[in-house]
């Protein structure tokens, strides 16, 4: 069987459904609706039309030679998901799920968000389809991504700061699950990453795999061959699986995910789930996660709210254990350097999340040398991060680094 | 091979009443006080204990229980404390003790090791809010081996097929979730609870406990007209939080059904 054909609910020993029984009926309903929609040409046509006229697909690829000079001279090509409407890859999944929610007759969508990108995309889809939208966001993240909170509210969504636990993405997911358990009749939980109980990991991947499918053709057209490596940042792993998927069965193409090492994996202040975690159950699926000896989830740290998550999608865990993909840590400092470098050499300001993948591409370029072609998912734009970046670099008047 | 919980429910049935099942988290407000509080529950009319294992991501729990278990974790709760609590409580009072635990701590401890140590401590079994029977092969095998109860949840939204599966794989009782929601006191226990219990009986359940939202003597009495057990959690946790061990004992006494 091709790796691309895996449709869950299990990816090897990973995945499954570790959720309260109250949610099973909704998950079964969603699985069935998704299976039907997947085979329904009218659903696929409606989604494709939305992507063409609303998202702005296909997104382009951009070769970045001035940036690549700092990465051993390898050819580095960006897949420009940052140019999508709402500024990241998140819209691909959101439009797909919102269409499904409409088919299921749900009038209310709820979502969790870390950096706010998925929350903004969800609020956007809710506005477009005339649905009520509630976004759960860790209180810590509402502060560091205040601009995205304003965007969501402007779009008509209610943003609820979550004050339990570590007050970040993992707690926002807990709160969204609690809401869903109580309101499942009217509400669709628009989960924003390839984690969670089946069918979310498979369904969210399918809505994002268009990234890699487009990029594979675009790189072939530009260079006449497949890339040597495909890379992306990994938090929950949605943009990474989106660009990896079309290449899973191309054995010559290496797949490398870059996760957040925060202050450094040796400091304990990181979100490097694959490098430092071990398999467990979190948020409805079995996968790698950061946990202590007793199985309590350990709080993660990253300068990037979107990668600040102690879990990862089950398909990534499977790919890691199969040896098909590898995962490496990138520190806050390395990511911020790459963010500034891409801005100054190419005039493209990436999201801090995305910058982890870019820093990784420089690393890979130096390892592989000038003959290599590296495809990077430029998953989001950095506008939302200006406050963090300005503070980090001390570039606002009256501030010091 | 016999279930402590089923034995208790049967003997109460013979007395013409149902079981009051009381929940408290382990390690709140401290390990010692949580043990005293559990003992006080039994001394004041609780028939079966459900002890919560504090967990970092309790998706099935409302605010009252979240706050208590989070405090227990901040104060340094360790999984080994759960076995200590079970051992000390079962040494002092004669009531079955079920642990209510999310699955990851069990998985990390080792499913079989967990079952072995729970049985050795005198525990009766596990209630697993995020482990559905479909994913529970390993736990069911371990429970069989160590003669432990496994209590799975049934929800108003569950299909008859799923209810039948839960009934077949549960031992002790089936935990009927009264309403579509998380734990926490509610003024009304949904009529959905009665319907669900009837459906469970119809597919063969002998013992059904109703939980989530039960918070008064009247609700306990009402539930016990159609179910074998009534589970009270948040109300007891709040009493313990507000007034300590003595208050939680009084609270239990207020809830306890009169023996006929």
- Answer yes or no: is pLDDT of A399 > 60: no
Give alpha helix (H) positions in B61-210.
63-74, 79-92, 103-109, 111-121, 137-145, 160-169, 191-202
Give alpha helix (H) positions in A54-167.
65-68, 90-103, 117-129, 139-144, 146-154
CB distance B57–A181 less than 8 Å?
no
Q: Please list the active-site residues of B.
A: 50, 61
B22 three-state secondary structure = strand
Q: Are A378 and A81 in contact (CB under 8 A)?
A: yes
| C-alpha distances out from residue B53 to A344, A391, B80, Å | 52, 41, 10
Q: Among B106, B130, B154, whose Cβ lies nearest the Cβ of A19?
A: B130
CB distance A295–B79 less than 8 Å?
yes
Confidence of residue A165 (pLDDT cuts 50, 70, 90): confident
Identify all chain A residues contacting B79, using CB atoms and an 8 Å cutoff: 294-295
Which pLDDT does position B123 carry in this prediction? 98
Which pLDDT does position B160 carry in this prediction? 97
CB distance B57–A25 less than 8 Å?
no
What are the contacts of B74-77 at 24+ separation with CB within 8 A? Answer: B75/B27, B75/B30, B77/B26, B77/B27, B77/B31
B164 CB within 8 Å of a chain A CB: no
Tell me which residues of chain B have a pLDDT lower than 50. Answer: 260
Which pLDDT does position B260 carry in this prediction? 46
Q: Among B70, B107, B180, whose Cβ lies nearest the Cβ of A22?
A: B180
Backbone region of residue B193 per phi and psi (left: phi > 0; alpha: psi in -120 to 50; beta: other values): alpha
Which pLDDT does position B183 carry in this prediction? 76
Which pLDDT does position A401 carry in this prediction? 46
Chains A, B: CB contacts within 8 A come to 107
Which pLDDT does position B1 carry in this prediction? 66
B160 CB within 8 Å of a chain A CB: no
B110 CB within 8 Å of a chain A CB: no
Q: Please enumerate residues of A whose Cβ is less than 8 A from a Cβ of B.
A: 16-22, 24-26, 164-165, 170-171, 174, 177-178, 181-185, 280-284, 291, 293-297
| The Cα angle at residue B131 between residues B83 and A134, in degrees rounded to 5 | 115
| Domains annotated on chain B, with CATH | 4-146+215-255 (3.20.20.70)
- Answer yes or no: is pLDDT of A320 > 70: yes
Residue of A238, A300, A304, A379 marked active site: A379
**How far is A280 from chain B, CA to nearest CA, in Å?**
6
Identify all chain A residues contacting B56, using CB atoms and an 8 Å cutoff: 165, 296-297
- Residues making up chain A, counted from first to last: 401
| Domains annotated on chain A, with CATH | 11-53+90-204 (3.40.50.1100), 58-87+209-393 (3.40.50.1100)
B135 CB within 8 Å of a chain A CB: yes
| Averaged pLDDT score across all residues of chain A | 96
- Answer yes or no: is pLDDT of A154 > 70: yes
Which pLDDT does position B259 carry in this prediction? 55
Burial of A108 (0-12, 13-18, 19+ CB in 10 A): middle
Q: pLDDT digits over A256-311, tens only?
A: 999 999 999 999 999 999 999 999 999 999 999 999 999 999 999 999 989 999 99
B56 CB within 8 Å of a chain A CB: yes
CB distance A165–B79 less than 8 Å?
no
Residue in chain B closest to A162 (alpha carbons) equals B63
CB distance A280–B104 less than 8 Å?
yes
Residue of A81, A112, A346, A353 marked active site: A112
Per-residue pLDDT, averaged over A53-69, amounts to 98
| Other CB atoms within 10 Å distance of the CB of residue A181 | 26
CB distance B130–A296 less than 8 Å?
no
Residue in chain A closest to B133 (alpha carbons) equals A21
Q: pLDDT digits over A101-140, tens only?
A: 999 999 999 999 988 989 999 999 999 999 999 999 999 8
B73 CB within 8 Å of a chain A CB: yes
CB distance A164–B180 less than 8 Å?
no
Backbone angles phi, psi at B149, to 5 degrees: -80, 145
Which pLDDT does position A208 carry in this prediction? 98
Contacting residues for B5 by C-beta, under 8 A, at least 6 apart: B48, B96, B98, B124, B125, B149, B172, B173, B207
| C-alpha distances out from residue B157 to A25, A31, A33, Å | 6, 16, 17
- Structure token pair of residue A52: 């063409």
Identify all chain A residues contacting B109, using CB atoms and an 8 Å cutoff: 294-295
Q: Among A18, A284, A294, whose Cβ lies nearest the Cβ of B105?
A: A294
Q: Which of B78, B153, B180, B200 to mutate to test the interface with A (most CBs of A within 10 A)?
A: B180
Q: Among B73, B107, B182, whose Cβ lies nearest the Cβ of A181?
A: B182
B153 CB within 8 Å of a chain A CB: yes
Q: Which of B25, B52, B56 to mutate to test the interface with A (most CBs of A within 10 A)?
A: B56
CB distance B181–A182 less than 8 Å?
yes
CB distance A21–B158 less than 8 Å?
yes
**How far is B207 from chain A, CA to nearest CA, in Å?**
18
């Amino acid at each position: 069987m091709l790796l691309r054909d895996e449709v869950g609910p299990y990816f090897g020993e990973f995945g499954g459904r570790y959720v309260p029984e109250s949610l099973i009926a909704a998950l079964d309903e969603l699985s069935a609706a998704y299976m039907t929609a997947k085979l329904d040409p009218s659903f696929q046509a409606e989604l494709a039309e939305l992507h063409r006229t609303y998202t702005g697909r296909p997104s382009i690829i951009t070769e970045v030679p001035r940036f690549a000079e700092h990465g051993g001279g390898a050819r580095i090509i960006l897949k420009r998901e940052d140019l999508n409407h709402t500024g990241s890859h998140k819209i691909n999944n959101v439009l797909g799920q919102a269409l499904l929610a409409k088919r299921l007759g749900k009038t209310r969508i709820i979502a969790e968000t870390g950096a706010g990108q998925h929350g903004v995309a969800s609020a956007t889809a809710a506005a477009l389809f005339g649905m009520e939208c509630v976004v759960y966001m860790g209180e810590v993240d509402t502060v560091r991504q205040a601009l995205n909170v304003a965007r969501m509210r402007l779009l008509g969504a209610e943003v609820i700061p979550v004050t339990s636990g570590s007050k970040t993405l993992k707690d926002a997911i807990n709160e969204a699950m609690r809401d869903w358990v109580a309101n499942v009749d009217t509400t669709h939980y628009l989960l924003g990453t390839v984690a969670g109980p089946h069918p979310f990991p498979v369904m969210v991947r399918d809505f994002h795999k268009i990234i890699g499918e487009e990029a594979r053709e675009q790189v072939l057209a530009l260079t006449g061959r497949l890339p040597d490596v495909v890379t992306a940042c990994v938090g929950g792993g949605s943009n990474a699986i989106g660009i990896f998927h079309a290449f899973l069965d191309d054995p010559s193409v290496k797949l490398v995910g870059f996760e957040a090492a925060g202050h450094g994996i040796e400091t304990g202040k990181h979100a490097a789930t694959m490098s430092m975690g071990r398999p467990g159950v979190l948020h409805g699926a079995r996968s790698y996660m950061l946990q202590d000896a007793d199985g309590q989830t350990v709080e993660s740290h990253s300068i990037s709210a979107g990668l600040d998550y102690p879990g990862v999608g089950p398909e990534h865990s499977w790919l890691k254990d199969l040896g098909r993909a590898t995962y490496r840590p990138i520190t806050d400092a390395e990511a911020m350097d790459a963010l500034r470098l891409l801005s100054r050499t190419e005039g493209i300001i990436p999201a801090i999340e995305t910058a982890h993948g870019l820093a990784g591409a420089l690393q890979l370029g130096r390892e592989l040398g000038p003959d290599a072609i590296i495809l990077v998912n430029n998953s989001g734009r950095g506008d939302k991060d200006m406050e963090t970046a300005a503070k980090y670099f001390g570039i606002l008047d009256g501030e010091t680094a | 091979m016999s279930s402590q919980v089923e034995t208790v429910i049967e003997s109460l049935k013979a007395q013409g009443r149902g079981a009051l099942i009381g929940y408290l988290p382990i390690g709140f407000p401290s390990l010692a006080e949580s043990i005293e509080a559990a003992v006080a529950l039994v001394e004041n009319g609780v028939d079966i204990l459900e002890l919560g294992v504090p967990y970092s991501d309790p998706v099935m729990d409302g605010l009252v229980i979240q706050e208590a278990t989070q405090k227990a974790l901040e104060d340094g709760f360790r999984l080994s404390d759960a076995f200590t609590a079970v051992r000390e409580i079962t040494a002092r009072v004669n009531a079955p003790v079920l642990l209510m635990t999310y699955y990851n701590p069990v998985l990390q401890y080792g499913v079989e090791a967990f079952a072995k140590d729970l049985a050795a401590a005198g525990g009766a079994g596990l209630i697993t809010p995020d482990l559905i029977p479909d994913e529970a092969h390993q736990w069911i095998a371990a429970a069989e081996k160590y003669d432990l109860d496994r209590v799975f949840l049934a929800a108003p939204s569950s299909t008859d097929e799923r209810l039948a599966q839960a009934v077949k794989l549960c031992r002790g009782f089936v935990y009927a979730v009264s309403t579509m929601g998380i734990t926490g006191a509610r003024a009304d226990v949904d009529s959905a609870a009665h319907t669900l219990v009837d459906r469970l009986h119809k597919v063969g359940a002998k013992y059904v406990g109703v939980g989530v939202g039960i918070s008064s003597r009247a609700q306990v009495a009402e539930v016990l007209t159609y179910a074998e057990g009534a589970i009270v959690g948040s109300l007891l946790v709040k009493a313990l939080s507000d007034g300590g061990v003595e208050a939680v004992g009084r609270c239990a006494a207020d809830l306890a059904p009169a023996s006929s």
